Structure 1
Amino acid sequence: MPIINASILAGRTVDQKRALIRELAEGTQRALGVREEQVRVIITEVSPEHWGAGTRSKADLEGNA
């Protein structure tokens, strides 16, 4: 059973997260030849304060800290 973990910045819409789940699951089905019901997708939303790029947080880079 493939389990896909996707970490994304918080703030995406429900529809965007649904689309991500669909695309990841469909791609996994094609690549691995598994059935839809075998694929699991877990989305973890991370706040900009907890997402680092280089030495700075995403919030710092966007001027939100």
Structure 2
Amino acid sequence: MPEIVVYALEGRTPAQKEALMKAITEVTAQHFAVPAAGIVVQIVEAKADSKSKGGVPYAKRG
């Protein structure tokens, strides 16, 4: 079954993360024609000082 990994900066509430995981599960089940019960969604959170874009840490981007 599908496994989806979402990489994001930390800071979302548990409710926001749950809503995202539910939406991803529903869309994946629909488009892949698989049961939702077999879909795994994981959110991997990074601290703003541990991730950068263009060489600038997100903690310094404002």
Q: Bin the TM-score by the shorter chain.
A: over 0.9
- Percent identity of paired positions between Structure 1 and Structure 2: 31
Specify the alignment match of 1:60 in structure 2.
Answer: 60
CA deviation profile, 1:4-52 (whole Å, cap 9, x unmatched): 0001110100000001100110110011000011100011111001121
Specify the alignment match of 1:22 in structure 2.
Answer: 22
- TM-score (norm. length: structure 1): 0.90
Measure, in 2, the Cα distance between the counterparts of 1:32 and 1:24. Answer: 12
Q: How many aligned residue pairs are there?
A: 62
Specify the alignment match of 1:12 in structure 2.
Answer: 12
Measure, in 2, the Cα distance between the counterparts of 1:39 and 1:31. Answer: 12
Does 2:44 correspond to 1:44?
yes
Q: CA deviation at 1:60?
A: 1.0
Measure, in 2, the Cα distance between the counterparts of 1:23 and 1:52. Answer: 27
- TM-score (norm. length: structure 2): 0.95
Cα root mean square deviation, aligned: 0.7
